[in-house]
Amino acid sequence: MIPAISIRQVTKRYGDLQALAGVDLEINQGEFFGLLGPNGAGKTTLISALAGLVRPDGGSLEVMGHDVHKDYRAARRLLGVVPQELVFDPFFTVREVLRFQAGYFGIRRCDDWIDEILANLDLTAKADSGMRSLSGGMKRRVLVAQALVHRPPVIVLDEPTAGVDVELRQTLWQFIRRLNEEGNTIVLTTHYLEEAEALCGRIAMLKGGRVVSLDSTENLLRKFSAQALRLRLGEGPGLPEALAQVSVQKDKYWSIPFQTYGQIESLLAQVRMAGCVIEDMAVNQPDLEEVFVRVMQQAREGGAS
Amino acid sequence: MTSFLTLLRKEILRFWKVGFQTVAAPVLTAMLYLLIFSHVLEDHVRVYDTLPYASFLVPGLVMMSVLQNAFANSSSSLIQAKVMGSIVFILLPPISPFSLFSAYILSSTVRGFAVGVGVLAVTMFFTPLGFTHPAWILVFILLGGAMMGALGILAGLWADKFDQLAAFQNFIIMPLTFLSGVFYSIHSLPAFWQGVSHYNPVFYMIDGFRYGFFGVSDVSPWQSLAVVSVCFLFVAAFALSLLKRGYKLRA
């Protein structure tokens, strides 16, 4: 099967800044793919290159097998991009904006689909409101709608939930999940790691214009993050030496890693034997934030600038 | 084709929705020019012997309004979209550079035409006009609008900020239109300035346009047509090549 997105050795330099330093990435059809990285890692540049908004210095990008430069008509028709910036055309109503956007892709009379998108994004009541009068969250929904109006099989969302209320996030993800289940490929960049963790099957992490990690979400969590017992100790003896060596202390909490729940009892027994007073206790689930921090640390130590 | 027609429709609606500002306002401005200049200069300026000054002035004012508004249309649409970021909506879809180009030129021509017709309709109440050669009137109103639409694309692409566009408008477009014989026949100028005026393409637009009304002009309308056409083709080719390169649109 042709990959939904195929990126080979893509480089892009802005003056002194190497925004993309040779990115290779292949995303399969039907994937829900996460693109993570700190600010300035090159996520948006990569997406812009894919959308034809930025011309890379080297390498090639394809959408469903169509080169985004040589075969731009096909490539752009197959791609829907939700830009990160909250941009809008102030002169028109929501419905007008969506009709125009469909028209730009050569599609006429698609009001049924527009109505469906509006309903799914909770925008129906705003269909005839001017763009200028919408709140930030509403404008964001329209941006999503604009990206979907030509029914692209590959959908890229660049931080779609930045500064957006909980309600929209729920509605949005419900809709995007449905589109994914119907066979569309979704690529997502986000700062909310719990979102990526909940939604994405595979995750690439970018730093300094390079892919520093690429794996299934499950593997990433297993590799880099373990379950841990979090303890806050009161007055009295400290954590026994044997435990302290394998644990991490942060703020007032000790984080003691374990593999299976069966181990918890023996860990607690050691703590009790040492005479420690437990003030607070919790069990930590593996989480992507920890993975993210570790991968970024490794990338720094590995010399990737 | 659908993408071109959609963009054209959107660009026309864009100015039509704020028609009070984009069509009615320039009509009012032109009317004020007519009232004041014809009042002040009626007895002082004689052109083409038999023609009342107000009648002479009207075609110039119409053409000036056409040109300024055609320029304003494409240039302000582009700069607004660039500054607001909404330009991505036309960069993401597969719209060919030629479709972009044609849609911007045509919508500018339409706006110029609408303003021109508006000015003409209003000024006809004040002064008699002949329509000796309507075909020339139409040719120059359309070609002039298209030429300025193309120039507006250049300016809109080049400018990064509104004040750069304003500079383009104030230092290039305004002098070109004011020093082109809107308010006077260049025959009344000293020889040197007459010579200079012959290098101003706007002079030919206005002169040819005026010929359509009165059947008299400073140069032959065919010569004006040739000059304006060549200028249009030159500016249009330049604008199209910038669009093809994605100049200041695709980083």
Instruction: Tell whether A258 and A146 lie within a shared domain.
Output: no
Residues A193 and A245 in one domain: no
Nearest alpha-carbon partner for A96 in A122, A104, A217, A23: A104
Same domain, A157 and A242: no
Are A215 and A231 found together in one domain?
no
> What confidence tens digit (pLDDT) does each residue in B61-76 have?
999 999 999 999 999 9
Q: DSSP alpha helices (H): ranges in B124-247?
A: 134-158, 162-168, 174-178, 191-197, 201-214, 221-245
Give yes or no: residues A110 and A231 share one domain.
Answer: no
Check B14 against A51: CB less than 8 A apart. no
Query: Number of folded domains in chain B?
Result: 1
pTM: 0.86
Cβ of residue A83 closer than 8 Å to a chain B Cβ: yes
pLDDT of residue A301 exceeding 60, the answer is yes
Segment A94-122 mean pLDDT: 93
**With an 8 Å Cβ cutoff, are A104 and B7 in contact?**
yes
CA distance A77 to chain B (A): 7
The torsion angle over the Cα atoms of residues A209, A213, A217 and A221, rounded to 10 degrees, is -130
Same domain? A27 vs A137 = yes
Q: Provide the shortest C-alpha distance from residue A100 to chain B (in Å).
A: 6
What's the CA gap between A172 and A24, in Å, rounded? 29
A292 part of a folded domain: no
Q: How far apart are CA B154 and CA B89, in angstroms?
A: 20
pLDDT of residue B116: 95
A211 and A241 both lie in a single domain = no
Nearest to A55 among B13, B95, B250 (CB): B250
Residue A299 falls inside a structural domain: no
* Opening angle at CA A64, ends A59 and A68, nearest 5: 40
Amino acid at A279: E
- State how many domains chain A has: 2
Q: How far is B168 from chain A (nearest CA, A)?
A: 24
Q: Please give the interface size between A and B, counted as residue pairs whose CB atoms are below 8 Å apart.
A: 86
Question: Position B143: which residue type?
Answer: L
Q: What pLDDT band is residue A305 in, cutting at 50, 70 and 90?
A: very low
- Chain B environment of A55 (Cβ under 8 Å): 246, 250-251
pLDDT average, residue stretch B145-164: 95
Percent of chain A with pLDDT over 90: 52
End-of-domain residue from the set A221, A244, A272: A221
The answer to whether residue A185 is domain-embedded is yes
Contact B92 A51 (CB under 8 A): yes
Residue of A10, A14, A76, A104 to mutate when probing chain B, most B C-beta within 10 A: A104
Please indicate whether, in this complex, the C-beta atoms of B89 and A77 are within 8 angstroms of each other: no
Indicate which CATH number applies to the domain containing A33.
3.40.50.300
Site from B5, B77, B86, B95 to mutate, A interface, most A CB atoms within 10 angstroms = B86
Q: Specify the DSSP class assigned to residue B20.
A: I
Q: Is residue B4 part of a domain?
A: no
CA–CA distance, B193 with B186 (Å, rounded to integer): 8
Domain co-membership, A104 together with A71: yes
Residues of A in Cβ contact (< 8 Å) with B13 = 91-92, 96
Q: Which domain holds residue A166?
A: 5-221
Position B178 confidence tier, pLDDT thresholds 50, 70, 90: confident
Determine, for residues B14 and A55 on separate chains, whether the beta-carbon distance falls below 8 Å. no
Q: Which of A221, A255, A275 is the last residue of a domain?
A: A221
Beta bridge mates, B140: none
Decide if B170 is inside a domain. yes
Comparing alpha-carbon positions, the chain B residue that sits nearest to A74 is B94
The nearest CA of chain A is from the CA of B141 a distance in Å of 27
Bridge partner list, A281: A231
Q: Is residue A82 one of the residues assigned to a domain?
A: yes
A225 touches chain B (CB under 8 A): no
Residues A216 and A232 in one domain: no
Cβ–Cβ gap B9/A103 under 8 Å: yes
Task: Dump pLDDT digits (tens) for B110-137.
Answer: 999 999 999 999 988 888 888 889 999 9
Statement: residue A88 has pLDDT above 80: yes
Query: CB-CB: which of B1, B85, B251 is closest to A87?
Result: B85
Chain B residues with CB inside 8 Å of A90's CB? 84
Nearest to A88 among B10, B86, B250 (CB): B86
Lowest mean pLDDT among A111-115, B36-40, B75-79, B141-145: B36-40
pLDDT at A304: 44
Residue where a domain stops, chosen among A221, A246, A274: A221
- Put simply, the answer to whether B250 touches A53 (Cβ < 8 Å) is yes
CA separation for the pair B130, B78 (Å, rounded): 38
Q: How far apart (Å, rounded) are the C-alpha atoms in residues B118 and B240?
A: 30
Provide the chain A residues 97-136 that lie in CB contact (below 8 A) with chain B.
97, 99-101, 103-108
The parent domain of residue B83 ranges over 16-39+47-245
CA separation for the pair A163, A142 (Å, rounded)? 15
Q: Does A303 touch chain B (CB under 8 A)?
A: no
The rounded mean pLDDT for chain A is: 88
Contact B7 A103 (CB under 8 A): yes
Which residue is closest to A143 within chain B, CA to CA?
Answer: B89
On whether residue B51 sits in a domain, the answer given is yes
- Distances in Å between the Cα of A12 and the Cα atoms of A43, A57, A238, B251 are 12, 5, 52, 10
CB contact under 8 A, B246 and A55: yes
- Please indicate, yes or no, whether residues A145 and A173 belong to a single structural domain of this protein: yes
Instruction: Report the alpha-carbon distance of residue B200 to residue B134 in Å, rounded.
Output: 24
- Do the domain assignments include residue A291? no
pLDDT of residue B149: 96
What is the dihedral angle through the alpha carbons of A275, A276, A277, A283, rounded to the nearest 10 degrees?
A: -130
Cβ–Cβ under 8 Å, residues B66 and B115: yes
List strand residue ranges (DSSP E) for chain A, in order. 5-14, 17-27, 32-36, 58-63, 66-67, 79-82, 154-158, 185-189, 202-207, 210-216, 227-233, 248-250, 253-258, 278-284
